[in-house]
Structure 1
Amino acid sequence: MPTLFRTCTLLALCLSTGLFAQIGDRADKAGEVQRSLVPADQIPPAPALTPEQALRSFTLAPGYKLELAAAEPLVQEPVAIAFGPDGRLWVAEMRGYMNDLDGSREDQPVGRIVVLTDRDGDGRYDESKVFVDQLVMPRAIALVADGVLVGAPPELALWRDTDGDGKADKKDVVATDYGVRVDPKRPHLANPERAPNSLLWSYDNWIYSAAYTRKFRYVNGAWETGATIFRGQWGLTQDDYGHLYHGSNSDHLRVDVIFSDYLQRNPNTPRLAGTNVNAADNQLVWPARVNPGINRGYRPEMLRDGRLKEFTAAGGQWIYRGDLMPELYGNLFVAEPSANFVRRSVLAFENGTVRGKNAYDKKEFLASTDERFRPVAFSTGPDGALYIVDLYRGVLQHRISLTSYLRKQSEDRKLADPQHLGRIYRIVPADRPAPRATQPAALSLAQWVERLAHPNAFWRETAQRTLVERRDRAQVPAIRAVALQSDRPAGRVHALWTLDGIGALERADVMAALGHADATVRIAGMRLSERFLAGEGGAEVKARLLALARDPSGDVQLQAVLSLGALNDVTVARALADIARTSPENPYLRDALFSGLANQELALLETLSADAGWSAEDVEANKIMTGLVRGVFGSRQLPAVERVLALAGDAVKSGGAKRAVALLDGLSPSVGSSRRPLQFARQPAGWSELDKNATAKARLAKLSDVIVWPGKPGVTAAVAVTPLTAEQQTRFETGKTLFSAVCAACHQITGRGLDGLAPPLLDSEWVLGSVERPIRIVLHGIRGPITVLGRVHTGDMPAFGAALDDTQIASILTYLRREWGHTAGPVEPAQVKAIRAATAGHSDAWSPEELAQFR
């Protein structure tokens, strides 16, 4: 289903010319095209510029210089790059994207992977060779082993050149669900703005992608597959801590403060915080160009002085970790192609979390007055320079989301042509010579070991990958020496993960790391120590981790609690609970604690309830109690829930009403948890005692339809659900397929949504109320802010009325209203047809207020 948030659209890249975030009404042929807020004579022209002319359009922060590294015809429609250790640059070219305003011929195999070479060493690439051609809309690339891993929906495949002619001749398919291939008969299923992208070899030797829920590992020439969480839309990067950064088009800076695997290990608590954390202080932007050429540029709130006001097509997130510009080390760079600029954010780490702030006051790091400058990706080169991928084109918004307003803008300014341009720039210091990405001689394995501690992360990461792929045990002593003796903390971290990747990590290695002065080394050591908690020497590891749980560094403290959760030990958890209670400034410690307590929540709750040191008046203690009860509720074990009620009753009797309230709050279904009633055979113990206390009784009222038993007063009798007819069941199954292809990338396959991207559909009042509302939303979109299950979500969702027919819309909505335990009535194609006809003149997305009349 179209998202009920700032949609996941953007060339799967987040390439939205329009408020991708604000995309919505597809070209509405019945409605009047909205008028631009900026008079036509005040909009600067947007002709295609030569590379030399384009260079003069930029404003760059003081101290830096922008240089052209490559341009058409050597590179065309570039969307992703990867450097080889030989200095060559591999480029994914999406040459089939929006060749005209109708997006025709997207199914044609005109995409390719090219390899650029700088033959004369002047810093500008002068040769381009096609390595893979006849691809359909490729958008992800990474060098692996002796080939290149390419994402071209629906496949992720490793391409190799086995005969040495410089062109791939062997293809090994790694996955067949890497997005949806364009099908002219079903174009709505292959929105390129929702496909996986941004392949990243992470510290843990797994390859992750943005907008995808699987990860891959290359071991001894074979591929292994694992599950992971959905991250962002376009762009994925890591810092020295191993945090993964991503974002959505209108929410530019998200980070996994907690490595996602930890938060998946307790199924009783589905909404633990710590991944997908909003790290931005705001979403305000400061473009250089007056440009209303965004999807909803006719709305006053979208622009400031004729310029984009907030992010709408953010993507390509990249942490610079090079050595050429050390003052930028660890900064995050984000592309905003719809407003023609690049943001530099300075990151601050404190109390176990991350905050990012624009490095400049009401300015951007790099901004252009050229509307066709479309930055979409970055990379740090072997030379330490920051490289920028420029799609360089006029039309950015995909046809599925192109509004009639933006289409007219594009027609009036003739933005559709020319096609097949593209530039790659590099940023270097302005006050000193910068090295070139030369072609060094091939390195021996011993030299690769030395590169593990290189000041440029490009070399460290390439060294780790190379050594892990080759798995040469003869190099283990040298790698271990880097892990134990390197003066560079990042070198030690890469060496530790390299030892892990080749199966040579020992307990002594991690124990040494746990005692290192640098937090990044201690954190890597803790993540790698978990396998040594059991067996010989495990007590020593546990004791060290318990000490680190009180470390002055909030990041270290957080990781210690996460790592100790691997024990699933109530005795250890008791000590960690005290740390979480007394460290409220570290916002994710509580959820880190809960993540390691699967089915142990009640045992810890009993222990803490009996502890006199855990006062019923202690606010932080009660927050932990509430979280523990949520885990009990999530287990849906009736005896455990009844014991919680008994503990709450005991608390009331002893004068601890606040404790009772904290326990009862944990039984109230939260977003993402099941809202199905718990059916008891009789009134549970403790209920009558709670009912006598005014404060507790108010909380019990919230549980009236959650905890039920035969004859309970005030409980609405369950209404029998009318089974679907055969025809409706067929639509349900069709809707399931359509939801997976069209909607799940944003709302998630579970329907629980994703903060910063899309709100939940599970239990959503917008899905389960009158069919009048969801039908209108799918047909025309909805603009935020919108309140869903008590939480406000900003942004808009796109319209799908032009992409989906009446039966398809009815099928998706029937699925949503009957999946995940929902019991709402199905939607009929005739209902969609009638509402489509009645709203044919509606040319903008609905507001929540407009839809409020339909209940």
Structure 2
Amino acid sequence: MKRLRYPLLLIFVSLTLLYCKTNKQARSTSVSTAPAQTAPNEPIDFTQSPFLTPEASMKRVQLEDGFELKLVAAEPLVSTPVAMLFDEKARMWVVEMPGYMPDTIGTGEDQPNGKVVLLEDKNRDGVYDNRKVIIDSLVLPRAICLIDNGILVAEPTNLWFYTLQNGKAVGRELVDAKYAVGGNVEHQPNGLLRGLDNWIYNAKSDKRYRKKGGKWLIEHTHFRGQWGISQDDYGRLYYNNNSQNLLGDYFSPGFGAWNKNQRGVAGFNEKAVADNKVYPIRPTPGVNRGYMKGVLNDSLKLNEFTAASGPVIYRGALFGSGFEWNAFVPEPSANLIKRNILTEKGYVVTGGQAYRGKEFLASMDERFRPVSLYNAPDGALYIVDMYRGIIQHKTYATPYLKNEIRKRELTQPLSAGRIYKVVPKNKAVSAVVLPDVPEQLLQLLGNPNGWIRDKAQQTIIDRNYLQLVPGLQKAAQSGNTLLAIHALWTLEGLGKLTTEAVLATLEKPVWPIRMQGLTAIPSVITSASEPKITASLTKLLDANDTLAAPYIGFLAHSIAEFNPSAAHQLLTRLSKAYPQNRYVADAVTSNLQDQETQFEQELVASVSDQNATIYKQLRRATATAKNALANRNPEVLKKQFPKGEALFTSVCQTCHGIDGNGIKSLGPPLNQSEWVTGNKDKLISIVLFGLTGPVKVNGHVYQTPEVSGDMPGIGYDKDLPNEDIAQLLSYIRKSWRNNAETITTEEVAQKRAKLSGRQKAFTEAELSGL
């Protein structure tokens, strides 16, 4: 491998120079139909994964009939892109992460070589031709958000706000020093999605942000996703984790995350699409657990998602009505993009895959790594292709995967990257540049393209166009649902939304309008307006508005600030009217931290069925609270096992939770788990080399999709000291309600030496023999 590195680098430099000379010609390339347009009589050798020019890579793509793939930017114009967004001038702001995994052991990953760059299409032909570095010297940057007169930049552990002036960053403000504390590069917050409700939401995080009155607000909301986040036309959020196709929220994002005793709230982190099957068109042995039974099929192709990343709800209108409420999800380890079709039934959103046996887009090029997808000013679907061989972080890279990387020489080159767009064939496509004319921006709030509507709303707010308030008030009452929704939230962003305007929406027969009105109530409620708001919510209850019922439960939280008695009465009425509705039950419970038992006792007079869902959810929260009281002091343990606590925070916490009780769709509990407090050899073996397949914890069998089917080991990292691992194991054996014997450095060293050379994760059956 070392002998080949420099010749490969020379080849890459030659390709780059060739690309620069033929820049315009190269970027006019497109590919549209399946099968892939490979050169005549040129079979593909899948034992090799050569670095390909954008043109050659595109020829290895199969795409849904009727569409074509167009290259809009590539190296040297852009390098290692991981995230992007458009501004009102249709310029692309791109996050570059060249520091990610320079080799299989991550050499130099901490170097400040990340950038935020601005790409422009000077001649408006749809191909970007100008690059400007806006911010550099960043360490592994991962997300950006344009807002007000600047840009938010996520650079773990910090979230920065840079003021922009004449295309330059002229000042920097620290918004959150703990934006991304804990977790390795694969498990740190990202996204920075500017939502319909004017808050900024994140994946792999429970925080949301907002700039108001010159100050940054930070609130805790639901923990969501892993890499990438998107929203639908009504502001509901969608995300995923590496093994889950698509997760999402049934309700507006700011509600219901107030009761620390609740282990999840129904209607959030729901499986929007439960089917995780994928259909690669090339063998994909280069996945981390490719050696395990069931990961690959007989053709060595990946069976299910293992690296699902930045999804998007397509809202561009360009593709036609059949693509409304479609969710696209990239799978970089299988070199494909999945299409899902979503369906609404009341407030529940579910969906399924658009095809069986094929994908919307799939590539035969192993280095094609779609990591994020976006809506755009021209209505196209944009693809951020990191274009590189190594996509797995060193923390989890198995010897098997490292061998696959070596066999096909996937380490170099490192500075490539492409951005594509998918458009319908034979259809005129042009980007919309938003006008700096307030009245025209107002009209764009009803545009069929969701990106344009969002950006028009944000631009009016950022420029504080208060002269539009009368027009916005009128638009908020119009019969155009999308225009009315955006007008409502634009007024909210300007600080000009009134209680009367919100209550008027609750009278509308169209559910999406009522939904937005209910969502906006916390923005307008005051001591003076509370009686009117309570009366309107009571009226919805009297009318048996089943769609509004969970929202009323969530809104009791806002009402309680001004009228606890009225809030309590609403919760009681909801419980009596919908005792078996799990969404209402959890909405009610979200208001009752440390009051669950008292409320349960009061409810007996109204709800006689002791097995009703409302009682079950209240008791579950009560049990969680009691268990938490018995937990050990984490600060004491942190001092006793500092390296163990740090390792837990960076590696384990992301899947098993800060409270050790596991995280939905990711990992089972460590708290009071017999695998943690029991046999030392079993625990050491699991942490060193991983655990795969179903596992029984305290009598319950955990398996996909309830949790990820595979827990990676950390023993493959030869640079990780035995002492640190011993501290980690001792830390979790003493944390929460666990009180098992500590594990010594010598015990880890002995087991590590005994298992040296092992490549496979353990199974429960195998561990039973230890």
Q: Quick check: 1:414 aligned with 2:324? A: no
Q: Match of 1:321?
A: 315
Change over 3 Å in CA distance of 1:506–1:411 after alignment to 2: same
**Residue of structure 1 aligned with 2:493, choices 501, 510, 519:** 501
Q: Match of 2:288?
A: 295
Change over 3 Å in CA distance of 1:148–1:68 after alignment to 2: same
Partners of 1:740 and 1:551 in 2: how far apart? 49
Q: Match of 2:247?
A: 254
Change over 3 Å in CA distance of 1:148–1:573 after alignment to 2: closer
C-alpha offsets along residues 509-548 of structure 1, whole Å, 9 cap, x if unaligned? 1111112232221111012224666645544433432444
Counterparts of residues 789-808 of structure 1 (less than 5 Å): 789=698, 790-794=700-704, 795-801=709-715, 802=717, 803-808=719-724
Q: Quick check: 1:444 aligned with 2:437? A: yes
Counterparts of residues 79-228 of structure 1 (less than 5 Å): 79-162=82-165, 164=166, 166-179=167-180, 191-228=184-221
Are the equivalent residues in 2 in contact too, given 1:43–1:291 (CA < 8 A)? no
CA positional deviation for 1:503: 2.1
Q: Match of 2:509?
A: 517
Relative to structure 2, which stretch is displaced further, 353-362 or 627-636? 627-636
CA positional deviation for 1:431: 3.9
Q: Quick check: 1:629 aligned with 2:629? A: no
**Residue of structure 2 aligned with 1:771, choices 680, 683, 686:** 680
Q: Which of 1 and 2 has higher RCO (CA within 8 Å, sep 6+)? A: 1
Q: What is the percentage of aligned positions where both structures have the same residue?
A: 38
**Residue of structure 2 aligned with 1:610, choices 592, 605, 621:** 605
Relative to structure 2, which stretch is displaced further, 510-519 or 571-580? 571-580
Q: Quick check: 1:354 aligned with 2:349? A: yes
- In structure 2, list runs of 5 or more residues that go unmatched: 1-42, 561-566
CA positional deviation for 1:151: 1.4
Counterparts of residues 47-66 of structure 1 (less than 5 Å): 47-66=50-69
Are the equivalent residues in 2 in contact too, given 1:46–1:413 (CA < 8 A)? yes
C-alpha offsets along residues 314-348 of structure 1, whole Å, 9 cap, x if unaligned? 01011111222242232111100011110111111
Q: Match of 1:424?
A: 419
Partners of 2:434 and 2:246 in 1: how far apart? 38
Partners of 1:174 and 1:316 in 2: how far apart? 24
Q: Quick check: 1:461 aligned with 2:446? A: no
Which residue identity does 1:848 align to in structure 2? E
SS at match of 1:263: coil
Partners of 1:397 and 1:310 in 2: how far apart? 16
Partners of 2:305 and 2:257 in 1: how far apart? 30
Which residue identity does 1:593 align to in structure 2? V
CA positional deviation for 1:741: 2.7
Partners of 2:82 and 2:744 in 1: how far apart? 41
Partners of 1:430 and 1:550 in 2: how far apart? 52
Partners of 1:525 and 1:806 in 2: how far apart? 56
Counterparts of residues 549-698 of structure 1 (less than 5 Å): 549=541, 555-564=547-556, 566-567=558-559, 569-581=567-579, 584=580, 587-598=582-593, 600-602=595-597, 604-611=599-606, 614=608, 622-633=612-623, 673-674=627-628, 676=630
CA RMSD of aligned residues (A): 2.8
Partners of 2:290 and 2:618 in 1: how far apart? 47
CA positional deviation for 1:630: 3.6
Are the equivalent residues in 1 in contact too, given 2:506–2:517 (CA < 8 A)? yes
Change over 3 Å in CA distance of 1:532–1:201 after alignment to 2: closer
Change over 3 Å in CA distance of 1:765–1:546 after alignment to 2: farther
Are the equivalent residues in 1 in contact too, given 2:67–2:423 (CA < 8 A)? yes
**Residue of structure 2 aligned with 1:818, choices 731, 734, 739:** 734
Partners of 1:818 and 1:285 in 2: how far apart? 41
Partners of 1:258 and 1:812 in 2: how far apart? 38
Q: Match of 1:341?
A: 336
CA positional deviation for 1:101: 2.9
CA positional deviation for 1:222: 2.9
Partners of 1:244 and 1:461 in 2: how far apart? 14
TM-score between the two structures when normalised by the length of structure 1:
0.78
Are the equivalent residues in 2 in contact too, given 1:532–1:541 (CA < 8 A)? no
Which residue identity does 1:840 align to in structure 2? S
Which residue identity does 2:712 align to in structure 1? P
Higher Cα radius of gyration: 1
Are the equivalent residues in 2 in contact too, given 1:68–1:426 (CA < 8 A)? yes
Are the equivalent residues in 1 in contact too, given 2:47–2:408 (CA < 8 A)? no
Q: Match of 1:311?
A: 305
Change over 3 Å in CA distance of 1:768–1:271 after alignment to 2: farther
Q: Match of 1:243?
A: 236
Q: Match of 1:15?
A: none
SS at match of 1:279: strand
Change over 3 Å in CA distance of 1:356–1:413 after alignment to 2: same
Change over 3 Å in CA distance of 1:546–1:769 after alignment to 2: farther
**Residue of structure 2 aligned with 1:67, choices 65, 70, 74:** 70
C-alpha offsets along residues 435-479 of structure 1, whole Å, 9 cap, x if unaligned? 2x26x4741333333322222221222222233334443332222
Are the equivalent residues in 1 in contact too, given 2:141–2:155 (CA < 8 A)? yes
Change over 3 Å in CA distance of 1:551–1:258 after alignment to 2: farther
SS at match of 2:343: strand
Change over 3 Å in CA distance of 1:423–1:494 after alignment to 2: same
Change over 3 Å in CA distance of 1:270–1:250 after alignment to 2: closer
Change over 3 Å in CA distance of 1:245–1:285 after alignment to 2: same
Change over 3 Å in CA distance of 1:390–1:608 after alignment to 2: same
Change over 3 Å in CA distance of 1:788–1:489 after alignment to 2: farther
CA positional deviation for 1:214: 2.5
Partners of 1:811 and 1:391 in 2: how far apart? 36
CA positional deviation for 1:210: 1.1
